[in-house]
Chain A
């Protein structure tokens, strides 16, 4: 499978716990995005990497959220001290070099904070 893959697909955690999600983009794509999507809404931009550099972060990304892409390949998104409001689908997408190519999305990680 050469698409974008995300792991895990589902995560249930207790409030206050830390969680980490992983995204493996399409191998030749240098641009990687994280989005959050709540029920009935469009995806909201969280952060953007070009290779290993984190170039943009949304104001939505509080101090409890951190993302990395250490070698310019896979990326991780960590949420510390989870809150019930963090419950959402977390989507990862990757894009190639050309400025306005489409983004390819993974199937997402659904987080439920109880």
Chain B
């Protein structure tokens, strides 16, 4: 079984500051992928970034980077230079041999002007 834990129901960050959203995972699969999605109030799920379990380097996509610490089973999302448009729900997810994506409960990020 796979499990994602996001312990921060809500986070606030000042515009232009960086913020870290926490994600820990549990899986027995030797090979797995970790994903972050953004869900604005409009409801669509927007893919942000992916990290494979065997990737040596942390993934980066523009202002998004994934701080992957395999031994700690954590895959935190770092958003640099926050913008007002970053205010949304953020979900961490894992995919392994079960083929489904298992999501966490999410973190509501609010960017303050």
Contacts and interface: CB of A to CB of B under 8 A. Distances in A.
Interface of A: 31, 33, 35, 40-45, 48, 50, 55-56, 89, 91, 93, 99-105, 107-108, 110
B105 A41 contact: yes
A42 B99 contact: no
Contacts, number: 57
Given A99-B31, A110-B43, 6 more contacts: A31-B99, A42-B4, A44-B103, A48-B99, A100-B33, A102-B50
A31 B35 CA distance: 17
A111 B44 CA distance: 15
Question: Most B CB atoms within 10 A — which of A35, A42, A45, A105?
Answer: A42
Interface of B: 4, 31-33, 35, 37, 43-45, 47, 50, 52, 91, 93, 95, 98-106
B32 A100 contact: yes
Nearest to B33: A100
Contacts of B32: 100
Nearest to A42: B103
Contact of A43 (B47, B50, B91, B98): B91
B99 to A, nearest CB: 6
A33 B103 CA distance: 13
A107 B46 CA distance: 10
Contacts of B102: 45
